[in-house]
């Protein structure tokens, strides 16, 4: 990924910055589209993973839809080439203004997360003399075997409609006269690497789909959410195995004639295409521990501090003997570390480090804590001549 030419152009830039390998993004999009077309699956890119305009423009050029969780995301994707008719809108706390904006933007569907929200959407749609499409986001109470802070499909999580409320909605679905209840939506968590979880999800979806068959609710859309993990330990595995992932659903989902299947991948599309480039400010030495202090911190990449997540780190400018370091940011927080006891070539002030796999939930989760300015971003086509 890093030619000498690229590293020397990195050296001319103010650090830290996000670097996007747009060639890899194109390859990843090509790969997911190729397989999705085979299975006739609809892909809505989960914008929360990365809402950078240039990235969105590339993604929209592949004809993907968008999964949004705020009015601003809807606005941003429409401005960057996505078709409103391919936008779905999820989120547990949609405001009245966002609901109104989404209806007026003619999006495809609301992924509705509570019985209370259903009533509000119904009222707002009525006041606009509109009928809107809704998918019920079911909380399937299924453990995704991922980090507990990014699990969403358990009864203890705030997401989705609890089973009892789901039954109430179905019993009386005709009362929502301004809604077409036409879809089921599931999302059980993120960074899922244990594929058996998706088998279980299929089983649960089949149960709901069968149950509704006898209830005259016409479910035309089934949305399986996102969640496919990427390889943070070995980011050289750049493109996730979309074929294997979709095959699980193709094999295990009981799809009825006329039903359309949707997915909302975020991380698996953009994750490996981004890296964070940062400079070494100091190497502290307190007895047997050496600590590298970088000019990037949790303000540019929150994931390690928030989920104890691992991102591969390399020194781009040293090839000396290996040594062992803790790697920290400059922020006044005890959790501002990117790694502990990491092996790196002997590292000194001024070295450039690359932190891998920051394309998803990197730039988009940046903070300005400690009055940090936003980091710059560069794209491979600008830096590789």
* Contacts to ligand LLP by CB under 6 A: 46, 48-49, 67, 90, 150, 152, 187, 190-191, 225-228, 264-268, 303, 307, 360-361
**Which H/E stretch holds residue 287?**
none
Please, which residue, 227 or 330, has the CB nearer to ligand LLP? 227
Question: Is the CB of 80 or the CB of 190 nearer to ligand LLP?
Answer: 190
Q: How far is the CB of 152 from ligand LLP (least distance, A)?
A: 6
**Which CB atom, from 205 or from 280, has the smaller least distance to ligand LLP?**
205
* 51 vs 42: CA distance, rounded Å: 20
Beta strands in 199-335 (DSSP E): 221-223, 260-263, 274-286, 289-294, 313-315, 322-328
Indicate the residue among 48 and 372 with the shorter CB distance to ligand LLP. Answer: 48
Instruction: Return the structure tokens found at 121.
Output: 């959407």
Nearer to ligand LLP, 46 or 136 (CB): 46
CB-CB contact of 365 with 302 (8 Å): yes
> By Cβ distance, which residue is nearest to ligand LLP?
226
C-beta closer to ligand LLP: residue 186 or 325? 186
Least spacing, CB of residue 309 vs ligand LLP, in Å: 7
Total Cβ atoms within 10 A of residue 257: 4
Closest separation in Å from C-beta 78 to ligand LLP: 19
Q: Which two tokens stand for residue 291?
A: 């600590």
Tell me how far, at minimum, the Cβ of 179 lies from ligand LLP, in Å. 19
Q: Which is nearer to ligand LLP, 280 or 301 (CB)?
A: 301
Structure tokens at 61: 């050029």
**What is d(CA 216, CA 218) in angstroms, rounded to the nearest whole number?**
6
**Prior bond of 16 cis (ω within 30°):** yes
Asked whether 283 and 292 are in contact (CB, 8 A), the reply is: yes
Min CB(230)–ligand LLP separation in Å: 9
* Torsion (CA) 317, 369, 377, 310 in degrees, nearest 10: 50
Q: How far is the CB of 23 from ligand LLP (least distance, A)?
A: 21
Q: What is the nearest approach in angstroms of ligand LLP to the Cβ of residue 109?
A: 12
Helix (H) or strand (E) holding 353: strand 352-355
What lies within 8 Å, CB to CB, of 334 at 6+ separation is none
H or E stretch including 56? helix 53-60
Nearer to ligand LLP, 265 or 339 (CB): 265
Smallest separation, CB 268 to ligand LLP (Å):
6
β-pair type (337-345, 132-137): unpaired
């Amino acid at each position: 990924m890093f030619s000498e030419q690229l590293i020397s152009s990195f050296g001319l830039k103010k650090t830290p910055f996000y670097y996007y390998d747009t060639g890899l993004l194109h390859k990843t999009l090509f790969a997911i589209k190729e397989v999705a077309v085979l299975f006739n699956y609809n892909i809505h890119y989960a914008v929360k993973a990365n809402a950078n305009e240039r990235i969105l423009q590339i993604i929209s050029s592949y004809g993907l839809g968008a999964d949004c969780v705020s009015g601003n995301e809807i606005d941003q994707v429409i401005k960057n080439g996505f078709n409103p008719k391919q936008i779905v809108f999820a989120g547990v706390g949609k405001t009245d203004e966002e609901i109104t904006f989404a209806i007026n933007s003619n999006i495809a569907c609301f992924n509705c997360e509570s019985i209370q929200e259903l009533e509000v959407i119904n009222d707002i749609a009525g006041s606009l003399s509109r009928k809107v499409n809704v998918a019920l986001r079911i909380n399937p109470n299924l453990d995704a075997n991922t980090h507990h802070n990014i699990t969403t499909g358990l009864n203890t999580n705030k997401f989705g409609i609890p089973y009892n409320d789901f039954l109430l909605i179905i019993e009386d679905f005709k009362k929502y006269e301004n809604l077409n209840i036409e879809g089921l939506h599931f999302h059980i968590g993120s960074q899922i690497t244990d594929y058996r979880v998706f088998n279980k999800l299929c089983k649960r979806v089949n149960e709901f789909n069968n149950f509704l068959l006898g209830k005259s609710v016409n479910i035309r859309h089934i949305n399986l959410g996102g969640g496919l993990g990427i390889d943070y330990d070995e980011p050289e595995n750049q493109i996730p195995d979309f074929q294997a992932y979709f095959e699980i659903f193709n094999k295990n989902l009981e799809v009825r004639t006329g039903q359309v299947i949707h997915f909302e991948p975020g991380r698996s599309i953009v994750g490996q295409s981004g890296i964070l480039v940062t400079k070494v400010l100091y190497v502290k030495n307190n007895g047997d521990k050496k600590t590298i202090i970088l000019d990037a911190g949790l303000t540019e990449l929150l994931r390690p501090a928030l989920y104890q997540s691992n991102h591969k780190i390399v020194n781009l400018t040293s090839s000396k003997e290996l040594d062992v370091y803790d790697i920290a940011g400059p922020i006044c927080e005890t959790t501002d570390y990117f790694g502990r006891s990491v092996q790196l070539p002997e590292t000194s002030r001024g070295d450039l480090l690359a932190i891998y796999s920051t394309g998803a939930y990197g730039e988009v989760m940046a903070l300005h804590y400690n009055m940090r300015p936003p980091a710059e971003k560069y794209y491979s086509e600008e830096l590789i001549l």
